[in-house]
Structure 1
Amino acid sequence: MNIVKSLVIFIIAGICEIGGGYLIWLWLKLDKPLWYGIAGGLVLALYGVVATWQSADFGRVYAAYGGIFILMALLWSWKVDSFKPDKYDVIGAMIALFGACIIIFFPRNK
């Protein structure tokens, strides 16, 4: 699969996963209305669908998602929750992202 297309799918899936989880968090932790939780559940279900658009095997895709989502979660927290990642957050996210890229994009012998 084209690397750019794959990265776009990872980003869409990450927004669904983090956004859906965030809506449920707001509902349960910050007493937002029930519709936040319902919307969050629907967005999380959409995440499950978007993940299937990747061409790699299930285990490899989900392992790579882990590294990419670490970075996306920090970016979400920074932009949405005004959380300021420190240098260790950034270093850890970069290591995870590098590992995710090795898992999903490095060529394999078949």
Structure 2
Amino acid sequence: MTIVKSIALFVVAAIAEIGGAWLIWQGWREHRGLWWIAGGILALGAYGFVATFQPDPNFGRILAAYGGIFVAGSLAWGMLVDGFRPDRWDLAGAAICLIGVVVIMYAPRSAS
């Protein structure tokens, strides 16, 4: 159950961070206004808190693994929200990143 919780937290964190950055992008680059930017700032702040709920106590490990989630999640967001179509190299890179997440977060470790 711990792995399921961890994965769910990574998904929530990705939505908050990528969504927050997207809202700021929309507010500034697409001239949608300060309310979009404010929503983005709030979402980015929420991302910072979500990461603290990960079961692993190591900040560096959590953020390193989240980097891989962010890469794959950003491509998925682009596909779902902006109509982006990744090429095979985008998909290969995302797969490599997700393999890295699994190794960093879920590889068996000795208790030391």
TM-score > 0.5 by shorter chain: yes
Query: Which residue of 1 is the match for residue 77 of structure 2?
Result: 76
Aligned length: 110
Query: Which residue of 2 is the match for residue 23 of structure 1?
Result: 23
1:33 offset after TM fit, Å? 1.4
1:3 aligns with 2:3: yes
* Cα-to-partner distance string for 1:58-108 (whole Å, 9 max, x where unaligned): 000000000111111100000100000000000000001001110011111
Q: Percent identity?
A: 47
1:91 aligns with 2:96: no
Letter in 1 for 2:103: I
Query: Which residue of 1 is the match for residue 43 of structure 2?
Result: 43
Letter in 1 for 2:49: V
- 1:43-62 aligned at under 5 Å gives the runs 43-56=43-56, 57-62=58-63
Structure 2, unaligned runs of 5 or more: none
Structure 1, unaligned runs of 5 or more: none
After TM superposition, the score normalised by the length of structure 2 is 0.95
Query: Which residue of 1 is the match for residue 109 of structure 2?
Result: 108
Letter in 1 for 2:86: P
Instruction: Output the aligned Cα RMSD.
Output: 0.9
Contact persistence 2:72–2:98 (CA under 8 A): yes
Query: Which residue of 1 is the match for residue 33 of structure 2?
Result: 33
After TM superposition, the score normalised by the length of structure 1 is 0.97
SS class of match (1:52): helix
Contact persistence 2:2–2:55 (CA under 8 A): no
